Structure 1
Amino acid sequence: MSRSRQPRRQATLASIAAELRISRTTVSNAYNRPDQLSTELRERVFEVAKRRGYAGPDPMARSLRTRKAGAVGVLLTEALSYSFRDPAAMSFLSGLSEACEAAGQGLLLIPAGPGLTDAEAAQVVHRSSVDGFVVYSVPPEDPYLAAVLERHLPIVACDQPRGIGAAPVVGIDDRRPMRDLATHLIELGHCEFGIVCMRLGRERHDGVVDLSVLEDAGFHVQHERIRGVRDAMRDAGLDDSALTVVERFTHTSGDGQSAAAQIMSVNPRITALMCTTDVLALGALAWADRAGLDVPGHLSITGFDGVDEALREGLTTVSQPQKDKGRRAGELLLASPAHSGIPEIETLDTQLVFGKTSGPVESTGWYAE
């Protein structure tokens, strides 16, 4: 007897239900709501499904049906690889993933790194299958952010930007703890300050920053930390216009090393080098060690973030709750909207950590070779 050459019909939820003489909803519940049917019935469903090559309900079809993607999009300012090597970003994502896991949601990383045109950035965002966005430290003029706003989905901003409609914001007061840290250094006798910071705008710049253009900086966090130092200098009667600031477009320990070398060659009188992140400060410490400088005898070095490696090294820094920040951003996004139309701003606490890298001025006037 010849075999039929007709292709075997693909098993569907309906065909499984027909064979078992149960409803399609019952078959679906076996996969999605197992508590709704007995163990015996579930096993019968899976047995027939396995025999007929049925893998379960199509998640894409389900998302079309429910209009829910089951995932949260995270818009980052950097390339994707940055998220896995920057300790502060990793801690933030850890907290956010915990909130998503508790709500049964997935996480989709959308790196908003430089290099794409506005149209390419919009394409990346528009094809992302998500139910809402957590915007992590993105400048207000970023083309990815513009594309996110076009989606008209729920948004929570972390750190920056602020004031995007009614979107809640989770962050810290970046200015006050930096001012307090600078005041501490002034009380130790320091009056010559230098700052090493992350990039202040979308255009690449690696070098000394013209203080007159700081008001135009698009990155709120970095700008506020610099302002904090200038506040402390003015309060102490110091000339804040004499402050030396060096910017790095990328954010690695190597950038901290090269920036420390540059800033000390520009102004060798600096006795307090304040870095706007711990990653940059750890790089500055490595440079000082190679240069034979005593820290803090010749040079006090401080950071910001309170990452584990910095705390192990005894860095004087500002500790911020990065993991709590991520968790709270996720909770706000996944919670029911308040419909108040007023953005909610949650400011988390920070803590000054006085380590072994800051101390009284003991030696001045060293000159970099």
Structure 2
Amino acid sequence: MSRSRQPRRQATLASIAAELKISRTTVSNAYNRPDQLSADLRDRVFEVAKRRGYAGPDPMARSLRTRKAGAVGVLLTEALSYSFRDPAAMAFLSGLSEACESAGQGLLLIPAGPGRADEEAAQVVHRASVDGFVVYSVPPGDPYLAAVLERHLPVVACDQPREIESAPVVGIDDRRAMRDLAAHLISLGHREIGMLCMRLGRDRHDGVVDVTDLGAEHFHVQRERILGVQDAMRQGGLDPAGLTVVERFTHTSDDGYSAAAQISAVAPRITALMCTTDVLALGALRWAQEAGLDVPGHLSITGFDGIDEALREGLTTVRQPQKDKGRRTGELLLAAPSHTGVPAVETLDTQLWFGKTSGPVESAEWYAE
């Protein structure tokens, strides 16, 4: 006997309801409001649905009815791959995902890396099916940020920007943390200090930074960490204009390595090299080792973040609660619009971590050896 070539009719809420002689609403409640049905009735609904190949209500249709997407959009300042290789970013996303998981929400990552046209940014953001946005360290004026604000959805920022009206910010006092670390180095006798930093703006630049021109258009975190070192130099009787800073547009250990080599050429008298991230500092440590320099005898090297690898290496650094930042950012967003009583900027604590890569000045003449 030949099989019928009639296509199998797709199961629907109505067809399942008809077979069970119950209402469509009752079938829907089995999926969306299970507490409204007895366990026996739910099991009967699921049994028929499974036999008929029915997977449940269409999530897109449900989002149209409820006007809820069930997901949080995360606007990132770097390429998507950065989120999965940078330890600090991974810790932030881990904390954020925990907050979302507790609330039954999903995450949609939206990388806002440089080099995208404004129109492309707007299309990506406006297509995102989300209920609100976490803005993770994105500078003012970014086209993706402008598109986010056009959506008129709840927004919470982490680190930056800090100028979005009615949007809470979760961060740390980057300037104070770096000032305290620099003051420690100055107390150890260091007078010639250099810095390695991540990119300060949207335009590509790999090289020496003009420290007299750190305008508001630059990335807040990197700018504040540089200003913190200058504050400590000023308080220690040193000329902050004498600070040499080398910037890298991308953020890898290899960037730290090459930047350390560059700063040693342009400022060979430095005895302390402060890095605005642990990733850059680990690269600088590798360069120093290959250059035959004793750390900290010839050169003290410090980082920022407190990532696991840096702590294992004994790096002197600033530990920041990156995972807590993610978790708290998510909690604030998911509590929207109930932001009454929430400070405009919620500042989390940091901790100076003194490892084996910083010490007193033993020799200021290593560069001549």
TM-score interval (norm. to shorter): over 0.9
Deviations 1:309-356 (A, max 9, x none): 111111100000000000000000001423659863110000000110
Is 2:154–2:336's contact at 8 Å kept on the other side of the alignment? no
Question: Is the 1:166–1:341 contact (alpha carbons within 8 Å) kept by the matching residues of 2?
Answer: no
Are positions 1:285 and 2:302 aligned together?
no
User: CA 1:2–1:245 in 2, change beyond 3 Å: closer, same or farther?
Assistant: closer
Conservation of the 8 A alpha-carbon contact between 1:172 and 1:348: yes
2:152 and 2:92 mapped to 1: Cα distance? 24
Deviation at 1:141, TM superposition (A): 1.1
**Corresponding residue for 1:50?**
50
CA distance in 2, matches of 1:3, 1:313: 69
Counterparts of 1:1-369 in structure 2, within 5 Å, are 7-338=7-338, 344-367=344-367
CA contact (8 A) 1:268 1:366 kept: no
Two-structure CA RMSD over aligned residues (Å) = 1.8
Q: 1:7 to 1:41 in 2, by over 3 A?
A: same
| CA shift for structure 1 position 216 | 4.8
Question: Following TM superposition, by how much is the alpha carbon of 1:50 offset from its aligned partner in structure 2, in angstroms?
Answer: 2.0
Give the Cα separation in 1 of the matches to 2:2 and 2:319: 77
Q: Structure 2 CA distance, aligned partners of 1:69 and 1:93?
A: 20
Determine the C-alpha separation between the residues in 2 that align with 1:252 and 1:275. 12
1:350 and 1:341 map into 2 onto residues whose CA distance is 23
Instruction: Quote the Cα distance in structure 1 between the aligned partners of 2:341 and 2:320.
Output: 29
The code of the aligned residue for 1:67 comes to R
Structure 2: how far apart are the matches of 1:240 and 1:336? 42
- Cα distance in 2, alignment partners of residues 38 and 147 from structure 1: 46
Q: Runs in 1 of length 4+ with deviation above 4 angstroms?
A: 1-6, 339-343
User: Which residue identity is paired with 2:45?
Assistant: V
For this pair of structures, how many residues does the alignment match? Answer: 369
Q: C-alpha separation between the residues in 2 aligned to 1:211 and 1:363?
A: 27
TM-score, normalised by the number of residues in structure 2:
0.96
* Secondary structure class of the residue paired with 1:282: helix
- The Cα offsets for residues 70-117 of structure 1, whole Å up to 9 and x where unpaired, read as 000000000000000000000000000000000000001000011210
Gaps of 5+ in 2: none
How far does the alpha carbon of each residue in 1:174-198 deviate from its partner, in whole angstroms, 9 at most, with x for none? 0001001000000000000000000
Distance 1:336 1:202 in 2: 30
Cα distance in structure 1, aligned partners of 2:190 and 2:123: 50
Letter in 2 for 1:121: A
Provide the rounded CA distance (Å) in 2 between the counterparts of 1:247 and 1:159.
19
Give the C-alpha shift of residue 135 in structure 1.
Answer: 0.2
1:315 alignment partner, SS class:
coil
Unmatched 5+ stretches in structure 1: none
In structure 2, distance between residues paired with 1:336 and 1:109: 20
Query: Cα distance, 1:7 vs. partner?
Result: 3.8
Tell me, in whole angstroms, the C-alpha distance in 2 between the residues paired with 1:46 and 1:356: 61
Aligned equivalents of 1:273, 1:217: Cα separation in 2: 25
Cα gap change, 1:301 to 1:339, in 2 (>3 Å): closer
Quick one: distance in 2 between partners of 1:131 and 1:288? 48
For residues 362 and 59 of structure 2, the distance between their equivalents in structure 1, rounded to whole angstroms, comes to: 66
The answer to which of 294-303 and 332-341 deviates more is 332-341
Q: Distance in 1 between matches of 2:368 and 2:151?
A: 52
Cα distance in 1 between the residues matched to 2:284 and 2:49: 61
TM-score by length of 1: 0.96
8 Å Cα contact 1:178-1:225 kept in structure 2 = yes
SS state of the match for residue 294, structure 2?
A: coil
